[in-house]
A and B are shown apart, each in its own frame.
Chain A
Amino acid sequence: MAAIEAEKLRRTYRQTSGFVRRRTKTIEAVRGIDFEVNEGELFGLLGPNGAGKTTTIKMLVTLLIPTSGAARVLGHDVVHSARTVRRNIGYVFGGDRGAYERLSGLDNLRYFSELYGVPPKVQKRRIPELLELVGLMGREKERVEGYSRGMKQRLHIARGLLHDPPVVVLDEPTIGLDPVGARELRNTIAELAQAGKTVLLTTHYMYEADALCDRIAVIAEGEIVAEGTPTALKSVVADRTVVEIEAYGLPAGALERVRASPGVTSVSVEEREHVQLLLVQAPKGLELTQQLLGCLGDVRVGRVAAREPTLEDAYVSLVTGS
């Protein structure tokens, strides 16, 4: 039996605007997705902002009712057996809100232990274990309002594990963390999987998914566009090469010219402080550098390099449909 199953899972939102003349707009956040997460597997749901990752997670943790389709956790339907699902799932979300700021970290954990029905004797053992696991031991009696963002996110992880759930769902847990904090959190997530828990992780950090996940589903505009191991997904772009060009101030129309350039399969731009990093995918063996530089015109160009594609390139290719 799969630990998590989604069958034709769909969720739409209705948004209304206007006061006198009310207008209703229906947004399809998740468009009938299917996936399964096996027991003990660390499964990644990868996608850009607004792709439908969080909506999917919220349906799995019973906070949202699917518009149609079904989802099960350990065989229990998320709508009809919501309470059983809640007992078996730990929900951790990113960001620094979502804890009681006026209470200490310890009291937050005590309160949620009560809500999860953890007996007092078990609480006495488990809370210190979890504080140790997430590195908050020694700071647990301080009010959460004085915690750093990373500490708050680690507190969320501890809270999600209070009832020792067999399934843990982590929704962008490392978002906004500094590199050291994010690495520590990734280690904690890896430890959860090693401890035999089924982990569903959503992220838009490729290296995170690549380093942690056994399998990944890429979701874009509410649909799963690819699913497989990180290696299998990378093979989508194995026959390509990636040209990186640093440009200082891309002129209007340059990006369109690059995109229309013969042989170019995909183009994306990363904005950095004073420079834009242009990532151009093209078939392996095709020499495009001069042609691309020609498309950029008089713009000042920094480093130009060609490299092997990564999971991130595969992801860009998948979500842009190129």
Chain B
Amino acid sequence: MTAVRLPMSGARVFFVGGVMSYRALFSWQSPTFYIPTMLAHPAFQILFFAYLGRFSHVRNDAFYVVGNAVQVSAMAGVFGVAMTIGGERWTQTLAPLLATPANRMALFLGRALPQIANGFVVSAFGFLVGRLLLNFDPPLSSLPRLALIVLVSTAACTGFGLVVGAFGLRLRDVFIFSNPAYFLMLLFCGVNVPLSALPHWMQIVGSGMPLTHGIAAAREVAAGASLSSVSTLVWKEALIGACYFLAAYLLLRLFEAEGRRRASLELV
């Protein structure tokens, strides 16, 4: 009997596997959960900060709508991704999953794909809430540019979410990281407080976080700026996102190897 060599399709694991894992593990996908968590929560977050801003006369509605509408993509990018990796432990599917020869990059990074789309939808809904309920009225011609920046930011945020999710291979409960990560972004990424108003060390941390540059670019574009004038910010956002994806992949490999060594892969 000879060893079997099957043609491995990393692309299929990435795309088909990514969608399957979303369906299998993203437990907020039914309307009962999706509407309160992915639509109502972001809407209330936007309204809360916009009215707080109005009350304190610090910034106009557009500042808060853009900042929060981009940041709420973290509901999918951080919580959703953490759920689709950490969920393997709760469903006790981590052992059969890691017993497969599937390409680990395709296996785990493919899980980000549906969440990028999901995050984009959540973010778009946030902008719609701002348009309908607050004084946010960007020029129509800015919308394609805004959409592109939101997409890049959402992808970068999902890379960060994968880093958080990677701890699902190391810890029993990944939400101990995903909850603070969400609020960390709210504070450090210039969502409601301009980066320049933060202490220096927070500015340094914020400039290395996803969304920071995307939010800054989105604010300028929503005010009518061209894409070329914010291209540096957009490229920075994309580069930071790529770094997080790479870090996530390395962490996932490290924690898988460590789990095999420490026998911690199946602890629930």
Q: Which residue of A lies closest to B100 (CB)?
A: A115
- The answer, among B12, B25, B91, B101, for a CB contact under 8 Å with A87, is B101
Q: Which residue of B lies closest to A169 (CB)?
A: B99
Residues of chain A contacted by B265 (CB below 8 angstroms): 63
User: In the complex the two chains form, is B13's CB within 8 Å of A98's CB?
Assistant: no
User: In the complex the two chains form, is A13's CB within 8 Å of B263's CB?
Assistant: yes
Residue total for B at the interface (Cβ-Cβ under 8 A): 37
Q: With an 8 A cutoff between CB atoms, is B54 at the interface?
A: no
User: In the complex the two chains form, is A98's CB within 8 Å of B95's CB?
Assistant: yes
Q: With an 8 A cutoff between CB atoms, is B147 at the interface?
A: no
- The answer, among B1, B23, B101, for a CB contact under 8 Å with A74, is B1
User: In the complex the two chains form, is B260's CB within 8 Å of A93's CB?
Assistant: no
Residues of chain B contacted by A61 (CB below 8 angstroms): 99
- The answer, among B7, B95, B260, B266, for a CB contact under 8 Å with A117, is B7
Q: With an 8 A cutoff between CB atoms, is A83 at the interface?
A: yes
User: In the complex the two chains form, is A86's CB within 8 Å of B99's CB?
Assistant: yes
Residues of chain A contacted by B101 (CB below 8 angstroms): 83-84, 86-87, 115-117
Q: How far is the CA of A110 from the CA of B17 in the complex (A)?
A: 9
- CB of B102, distance to nearest CB on chain A (Å): 4
| B1-43 Cβ-contact flags toward A at 8 Å (1 or 0) | 1111111110011001100110111010000000000000000
- CB of B95, distance to nearest CB on chain A (Å): 6
The 6 closest A-B pairs by CB, nearest first: A100-B24, A115-B100, A86-B101, A117-B8, A115-B102, A97-B92
* Interface residues in chain A, defined as those with a beta carbon under 8 Å from any beta carbon in chain B: 3, 13-14, 39-40, 58, 61-65, 74-76, 83-84, 86-89, 91, 93, 97-103, 107, 110-112, 114-120, 156, 159, 163-166, 196, 198
* Interface residues in chain B, defined as those with a beta carbon under 8 Å from any beta carbon in chain A: 1-9, 12-13, 16-17, 20-21, 23-25, 27, 91-93, 95-102, 107, 260-263, 265-266
Between A and B, 28 residue pairs with Cβ closer than 8 Å are A40-B1, A58-B95, A62-B99, A63-B98, A64-B263, A65-B260, A74-B2, A84-B101, A87-B4, A87-B5, A93-B96, A101-B91, A102-B25, A103-B20, A103-B23, A103-B24, A107-B24, A110-B20, A114-B13, A114-B102, A115-B101, A115-B102, A115-B107, A163-B4, A163-B6, A165-B4, A166-B4, A196-B1
